[in-house]
A and B are shown apart, each in its own frame.
Chain A
């Protein structure tokens, strides 16, 4: 199984900050990574797929990059609505696996 290791587990930041979350895969593959945002008590929401493709309706301040074993999600200028938990997911091979999550909190 492919393990996805996210860092950091918790990130404290302020409105307007640029933040980056990293996901490292236990084996190398191309771009089969998605990123999700989840707020308490709600279902996850797809932000990015194929490592860097922005899902329709997602603000352009979100971006993704990477290939091989390292993938990143960047939020260019944090907005109040962005404080949530973020997960990466690989869909290169089954079983599908998620990172353990990064909780983004207000500093």
Chain B
């Protein structure tokens, strides 16, 4: 069964750091683009960052550029999101999602999400 499982979300103070993880199983992880998508409480979906199958290519939304870093470890079938300089507006459920490839990044498998709350 194809599965994604996020972890690492918690309450953190403004200015703090957090690393999210997403464990993948049931598919050839290194062959697929992976993304982080977030959803603030009561709001819509916002794509955050994406990384190509090899890990060589990444892209992030302007709202997180310079603060968040996406990476992957294909030997561990795991996707990461390093989140620094966190702000209240980063409060959201963070989903990891599997795409087809870098040029065709529609997301056919999603995790259940992990909640990040940024508050003092």
Q: Which residues from chain A sit less than 8 Å from chain B, CB to CB?
A: 1, 32, 34, 36, 38, 43-46, 49-50, 55, 87, 89, 91, 94-101
* Bound: A12/B50 CA distance, A: 35
Q: Other CB < 8 Å A-B pairs besides A95-B59, A98-B44, A101-B45, 4 of them?
A: A34-B106, A46-B108, A89-B47, A89-B106
Inter-subunit contact B47/A97 (CB<8 Å): yes
Inter-subunit contact B107/A98 (CB<8 Å): no
**B66 to nearest A CB, angstroms?**
14
B35 on the interface (CB 8 Å rule)?
Answer: yes
Q: Which of chain B's residues have a CB closer than 8 A to the CB of A95?
A: 47, 59-62
Partner of B50, one of A32, A96, A100: A96
**A100 to nearest B CB, angstroms?**
5
Q: Which residues from chain B sit less than 8 Å from chain A, CB to CB?
A: 35, 37, 44-47, 50, 59-62, 95, 99, 104-108, 110-113
Inter-subunit contact B105/A91 (CB<8 Å): yes
Inter-subunit contact B106/A91 (CB<8 Å): yes
Q: SS class of chain A's interface: helix, strand, loop or mixed?
A: loop
* Bound: A87/B105 CA distance, A: 15
**A96 to nearest B CB, angstroms?**
4
Q: Which of chain B's residues have a CB closer than 8 A to the CB of A34?
A: 106-107
**A80 to nearest B CB, angstroms?**
23
Inter-subunit contact B111/A100 (CB<8 Å): no
Inter-subunit contact A46/B107 (CB<8 Å): yes
Partner of B35, one of A50, A96, A100: A96
* Bound: A100/B106 CA distance, A: 17
Inter-subunit contact A101/B106 (CB<8 Å): no
Q: Which of chain A's residues have a CB closer than 8 A to the CB of B62?
A: 1, 95
Contact A44 B45, CB 8 Å, known A95-B59, A95-B61, A95-B62: yes
Inter-subunit contact A87/B45 (CB<8 Å): yes
